[in-house]
Structures are given as C-alpha cells and as structure tokens.
Chains A and B, each alone.
Chain A
Amino acid sequence: MKTILTGAAVALIALAGTAHADGHQKVADIHFLIPGGAGGGWDGTARGTGEALTEAGLVGSATYENMSGGGGGKAIAHLIETDDGGTMMVNSTPIVIRSLQGVFPQSFRDLTPVAGTIGDYATLVVNTDSDVQSLSDLVAIYQDDPTALAIGGGSVQGGMDHLVAALVMKNAGTDPAQIKYIPYDTGGPAMAALLSGEIQALSTGLGEAIELARQGEVRILCLTSPERVDAVADVPTCAEAGSEGTEFVNWRGFFAAPGIDADTLASYQAALEAMYDTDAWAEVRDRNGWVEIFNSGEDFTTFLEGQEEQISTLMRELGFL
C-alpha cells in the first residue's frame, strides 16, 4: 500500500481542468477531496471522474485536494467540520469496513451520500492446475480440513477480500470463522502466490482475475454478482454455485458534506448521471478498466445500509467485532 503512494503529485498542476462552458453545464465548479495520497485508487477515481466531467462540459472546473491520514478518517473529519457544500469526497467499500472496525469514529451516515459510480464484483479463483473444479469442490476441502485450505487476498485480515471469502463460505453452509486467510499487501503479489502454489485459492476482484482466466492461468470458481456477467458468461454466480444469496459489489463513489442543500446535491447527481453518456467518460473508463454502476441518492444510501448490515454480521461471526 505504501508503495503506491507517490504517483501523480504534479498531476495536481497538470490536470487542472480546462473548462468548455457548454449549454449543458450542470455545476460551475467542484472541489474533490481525496482521502489518500497521490497515485492511489481513490486519487485515480477522483481525478478521472473530474477529468471526464470537465472535458464533457458538465462541470465548469474541478480542483483536487489530497488529504491522507487515518485510513481516510482525516478527510471525513475535515468534510464534516468544514461542511462545505462545494466539496465532493471520493470513497469506496472501505468506508463501511473501516468505520465498523473503529478505524475512525464516523460512518457514511455522518455524510451525504451522492452516488456510487463504478464497481467491481468479487471472485474466488484457483490455479488451473488445481483439482478444484467448482465451488463445491472447494467447500468440500474446507469442510474436511479448514487448515488444508489457505485462501489469500490483497487486504488485511478482516478486510474486504477476507470478508468476501467468508461470505461465500458462510452461505455455502460452513463456519466462516475457520477460514485460513493469508493477507498480501496488494492483489499482484497475492496472484503470484496463487500461481506459485503458496495458497490454494484467492479472493480478488473480477478485474484482477479476468485476463489471467482468459489466458488459462487461473480458474474463476464463482462471481458475487446477482446474475452472470457477459465478459465471463461461463462463470456461475456464487449463488448458482451453491453459496445461497451471496451478492457483493466493491464500489467507488462520492460523498458530500452533511449540511449540503438539496439543489446542489441534485446538480451533482445530475452531472454524474449525464457523464456516463459522454465520450470523455468512455475514454477515462476504458483507460482505467472501470465497470459502471450508477447508484444515486436514496438507492445509494439503502445500498450502503445493506452492505453495512452484511459486513457487520460477518465481522461479528468472524470475531472481528
């Protein structure tokens, strides 16, 4: 995690958006608050979204501010404290997880959720050489001897990849607390560990597994989507594969200050919604390999509440709460 810190510090200057004030402009200017350092995932999401919005003329100009610290908690506290309606903060699934873990005292309820914009489904994958052909094979090994199955992931114990693996196992009718979860600092080394045989299965995002699966290096056992995804049409959903009701999406989205007025909030949401149809967005999206999910306003809040419920139940069962 520390290694991806440096990134595009000068991009602050380089990417200062040039505005084409077209007729369809929704917002004059937006200030993006980024809870992590330059070059990370949050940074890329905020700057990419800002670039698309300004290029397409939906937003007059965009400015960016990196505020790392406290696993994102510093920026959350800052947004609540200043209560500035002109600011949008980028965040993602960890805001739910870290809030439950008590990394910071606030939660998404202390902010105004604007919209979820992009996302990725989670997967369980094994090496192609593995005897495990399906999720039920994996569950059988686990039930036989949990210590014989090391499942790796690119986050800490109790982090997202661990929770996803636990969710799949729990819904398959086993005790998720027995999982032997091996943490790696990012997805890359975790994938290397799977290919080297150090771990028997890997919990990761579809985006990180899809190409290696196409090239025949790994086998995707199941996908945490509600229905099958076209890009990997032969991969069953986890529910189909025997993990009843398993659904999970790792989202990224935006939050505004708690006291933002309804009109400004609506204009932000309108700008983000209109963004999906622009060429500028298509370019940014393809450059980064993002998957669109648009989840705005009330729907987004309901979704967050559901995810919080899902994760807190799991964390309690795993003994992290």
Chain B
Amino acid sequence: MIDGILIGLSTALSLQNLLFVMMGCLVGTFIGMLPGLGPMSAIALMIPIAATLDPAAGIILMAAVYYGAIFGGSTSSILINAPGVASTVATSFDGYPMARSGQAGKALAIAAYSSFSGGVIAAIFLLVAAPSLASVSLAFQSTDYFALMVLGLVAVAAFAGKGSMVKALLMTVVGLMLSTVGTDQTQGVARFTLGMIDLVDGISFLLLVMATFALSEALMAILRPKDDSARLEEKEASQKLGSMKVSREEVKEMVPVISRSSVLGFIVGVLPGAGATIASFLAYGTEQRIAGPKKGAEFGKGSVRGLSAPETANNAAATGSFVPLLTLGIPGSGTTAIMLGALIGYGIQPGPRLYLDQPDVFWSVIVSMWIGNIILLILNLPLIPYIARVLAIPSRFLLPLILFFSLIGVYFVSFNTFDIQLMVLFAIAAVGLRLLDFPMAPMILGFILGGMMEENLRRALLINDGSWSFLWERGLTLSILVIAALCLLAPPLVGWITKYRNRNTTDATPD
C-alpha cells in the first residue's frame, strides 16, 4: 500500500499536475456557483480537455473540478439560498440563516473546513478499505433502499421547528405528491400531467428548488421592507461579513460532528442506490437528534452543527461513491457515470481487476482526491472574504440578479420556456405558503426522496410477487425501519416520560 501511495504521489505532485489541480479547483468553484451547473456538468465540460491529457493528469484535473464544483455549490446555497444540486439542499438549512445574520464569511469557512475534512477522511477509508468494501456496495437491495428512504423522510422531524410538526408533515406530503407527476418509472405510464406534454417528463428538481428556495426568498425579501435602523445594522453587519473567525468552542462542537458525519456519509456513498443527497439529509437529521434539546433547537436558525454535518457528509459520500466505480465498474451516481465514461476513453476499465492490473491509476485517483481537497482549501480560504461580500451588494441590485440567475439556470438545462412559467407559479405558491409559516425544506425532502422511495418499493413488491413480507423478513430492511420508527417516536416518548417523572417528583416533594 505504501508503494501505491508513493506511486500516486510522485505522479500527482509533478509541476504540470499541480497546475491542473489549481486550474481545476478554480474553474470548478466558479462553475459550481452558477445555479443549475453542478459537479456533473462541470466534469462533463472538462472531458474534451481531459481527453487530450495523459490519464493521470486527466483524472487529477477532473477530481479537482469535481471538488471545486461541490464547494462552489455550497457557496450559492449559503449566500443566496440557491442550492443548484440536491446534495447541497441541506447545507442551505443552516448556512443561509447564518449568512443572513451577517456571518457569511464564517459560514463559508465552516463549509470549507467541513467538506475538506469529509473528503480527506473518506479518502483515507477509500485507501484502506476500498477493495474489501465492494461487498458492502452490493449488500443493499431494493427493499433496503426503500427502508433507507423512509429513514431519510423521518429526518423531516428535524426541520419541524417549534410546534409546526403538522405543517412540516403536510409539506412533506406535498413534496411526495409532486414527485409522482410525470411518467412513472415502473410502467412508463404518464400520471397527473393534465394532458400537458411538458409535464410528461415530470417536474425537475432544479426547477422546484430554485422556485421555492431562491426565487421565493428573493420575493420575500422584497415583501419585507426594512426600516432605517435595520438598514444601519445591516451596514454594520456588512463590515463583519467577510470575517472567517470560528471560535474555539465552535471548533470543539464541529470535531465530533465531522467525525460522525464523515463515517455516515462515506458508508451511504458506497451504496450505489443512495448517494450524497441522502447522506446529507441523514447526517443533518442524526446530528439534530444527537445535539440534545437545547443545541438541537438551533438547527435551521444558523447552527454550526447543522451546517457542518451535511457539508461533511455530502463530500464524504461523493468520495465513497468511488468505491463501486473503482472496484466493481458500476457508476452509482450521474457524476461517477461521467467519470466512468472518461476512464473508458483512456482505455481504463474500472472493475475488480483495476486494483491489481493498473495500480498506478487506482492510487493516483485516490491521491488526487487528497491533493484536490488540500489545494481547494488553500485556494478558497483567501477568496472567502471576497465571495462573502456578494451579500454586501445593495438588495436593489442583488435581488434582481438572484431572480435572473435562478431563471436562467433552469432554462439553460431544459431550454423549455414552460419551465419558466412553472417556476414563477411555484415561486408565488411558495411565497403564499411561507407567509402562512409552512416550511419549504420538508417539501423538497419529500420530492427528492419520493421518487426513489416509490421506485424501490414497487421494485421490491415486483420481486416478492406483491407480498409485503420483505418488510419484516429481511433483517437489514427491518433494522433500518426500526431505527426510523425509533427516530420518529423517541422524542415524544422521552418528553412524555420526563413529564411523567417530573410530575411524580413534584407530587413526592410535599412529603
């Protein structure tokens, strides 16, 4: 293994390759910041360039672009509440409130540290255990994925906030309903399309999230006119905007969160049917529960833990998704599918024999992940104060810009004007719902998980000839479902028990 690392290092550390890493990180960060363009598009754009390079340099360039784009995506989630890809939705839950309270620089710095740690720790796991983890990738079947999606949905409780559990659940159902629009993935039947050809392919995630997060946020800001004192405060706040200072207590809070989330993220990433989005939601939900009632209540309002957990997990999962790619030759996500195409272009076929036949490729991929993460941190930390100052732009300029980029971002993917109309409709509906205190996050969660949940459930039913017995007969499925049930029932139960006890003790004191 040491030999392998040395081979990888000597390839990756040449001057030319270091230049490619730097260029890739910068280009990736920039592309990732644009709404609608995520890591997948960034890599797809790099393929023609990478094809002209030798394999090691090409892979290093793509890895750098990949990590750059992931970081860039978090930036737009944090600064303007516009998560361009599903895996950064959870980042916006706490990153955006933190940025709005004038701590944009800090939020970006926490995101950078967390994704760096997540990526580096996961790359260590990959290095040590990749060949033996191939079996883990294959351990999950449709029934288990269904259970995993249920567990992800249970995380909805984490977004409920104070007393609005019913509203959160209602919005989850709205999300689930929206996910059923379009051609169903089992039988190919068009559902709820109202006879409109534009709805046959369903509602795109990007459209929904841009409409309900970025657009509605910008519209809400217009509806919320500020008085002069607020404006003065804002001016003061903008002075501190770029500050990246993270206090010692906050670092202490982050360390355990990062260690847990990177393990969780990596394991979820290894499963070809799950990926970075599920990982980020699970990490967010888990940390909210672990944080306890006091710290947990800060989630959704700019909690350090709530920002750190999904950022760590999505990067760890992105690294984990290389396990099925490199050891089985199976792409688990869109991004790794593009990577697979690029590798095949070099005449490298990932699979169980790659590790033995072409160790130099295997190791340089892993080493390039470290290098990519390190360079990204070095390059981006000095840039953060400048990026954060985007928020110092007066809102009369910033808000139209956000509206413009959100709409254009969606249009550039589908090139369909119907999508713009649908977006405006969703944005207006979202503003109405938000004025009535309905949260948007559970809806997005329901929408993202709904499609996958239905697909896996129907597949499980087909395989088991319509019998539901797999829910309790398959150990792994049952265990995940039990965890989900505990997550949902434990907080009210614990609350009830403590109340009961307290009453008992108060009853007892008069004696």
Residues of A within 8 A of B (CB): 1-12, 14-15, 37-39, 65-71, 73-74, 77, 101, 103-104, 147, 150, 156-159, 180-186, 188-189, 191-193, 195-199, 211-212, 214-217, 283, 286-289
Contact = CB atoms under 8 A, between A and B. Distances in A.
Contact of B44 (A8, A103, A286): A8
Contacts of B51: 283, 287
A180 B41 contact: no
B131 interface: no
A184 B459 contact: yes
A248 to B, nearest CB: 19
Nearest to B187: A157
B349 A211 contact: yes
Nearest to A97: B188
A85 B357 CA distance: 51
Nearest to A10: B45
Given A3-B333, A68-B201, A150-B462, 16 more contacts: A6-B38, A6-B334, A7-B44, A8-B41, A9-B413, A68-B414, A68-B416, A71-B183, A77-B197, A156-B188, A180-B462, A182-B459, A183-B186, A196-B139, A212-B329, A214-B349
12 contacts: A6-B41, A6-B206, A8-B45, A14-B48, A39-B40, A68-B201, A68-B414, A68-B415, A71-B200, A157-B186, A159-B188, A183-B459
Q: Pick the most buried of B41, B202, B352: most chain A CB atoms within 10 A of its CB.
A: B41
Contacts of B142: 193, 198
Contacts of B451: 2
A2 B202 contact: yes
Interface string B329-362: 1111110010001001100010111000000000
The 10 A-B residue pairs whose C-beta atoms are closest, nearest first, are A156-B188, A70-B197, A196-B138, A8-B44, A211-B349, A3-B334, A66-B415, A198-B141, A215-B351, A9-B412
A157 B451 CA distance: 17
A12 B37 CA distance: 13
A69 B141 contact: no
B197 A38 contact: no
Given A8-B45, A9-B412, A69 B197 contact: yes
B413 A5 contact: yes
B141 A196 contact: yes
B390 to A, nearest CB: 21
B423 to A, nearest CB: 15
B465 interface: yes
Contacts of A7: 40-41, 44
A33 B197 CA distance: 18
Contacts of A1: 185
Interface of B: 31, 36-38, 40-41, 44-45, 47-48, 51, 85, 137-142, 183-188, 190, 197-198, 200-202, 204-206, 272-273, 324, 328-334, 337, 341, 344-345, 349, 351-353, 412-416, 418, 451, 455, 459, 462-463, 465
A69 B111 CA distance: 36
Contacts of B330: 188-189, 191-192, 195
Contacts of A158: 187-188
A198 B415 CA distance: 38
A254 B454 CA distance: 35
B157 to A, nearest CB: 27
Contact of B413 (A37, A69, A211, A214): A37
Contacts of A183: 185-187, 459
Contacts of B462: 150, 180-182
Contacts of A212: 329, 351
A115 B446 CA distance: 44
Nearest to B350: A211
B353 A215 contact: yes
Contact of B415 (A14, A67, A196): A67
Contacts of B190: 103
A73 B37 contact: no
Nearest to B200: A70
A16 to B, nearest CB: 13
A6 B344 contact: no
A199 B459 CA distance: 11
Contact of B41 (A38, A104, A157, A191): A38
Nearest to A104: B197
Contact of A195 (B138, B205, B333): B138
B232 to A, nearest CB: 41
Contact of A103 (B200, B463, B465): B200
A192 B190 CA distance: 27
B201 A11 contact: no
A211 B140 CA distance: 23
Given A8-B41, A199-B463, A287 B345 contact: yes
A73 B197 contact: yes
Contacts of B198: 69-70, 74
Q: Pick the most buried of A5, A73, A103: most chain B CB atoms within 10 A of its CB.
A: A5
A195 B328 contact: yes
Contacts of B337: 4, 186, 188
A305 B190 CA distance: 26
Given A6-B37, A6-B206, A6-B334, A185 B455 contact: yes
A97 to B, nearest CB: 9
B44 A11 contact: yes
Given A180-B462, A192-B273, A211 B329 contact: yes
Contact of A10 (B37, B204, B344): B37
Given A3-B334, A6-B38, A189 B272 contact: yes
A4 B40 CA distance: 8
B37 A150 contact: no
Nearest to B271: A192
A75 to B, nearest CB: 10
A195 B51 CA distance: 31
Contacts of B272: 188-189, 192
Q: Pick the most buried of A6, A37, A39, A196: most chain B CB atoms within 10 A of its CB.
A: A6
Contacts of B202: 2
Contacts of B188: 101, 103, 156-159
Q: Pick the most buried of A67, A70, A159: most chain B CB atoms within 10 A of its CB.
A: A70
A276 to B, nearest CB: 19
Contacts of A77: 197
A2 B329 contact: no
B327 to A, nearest CB: 11
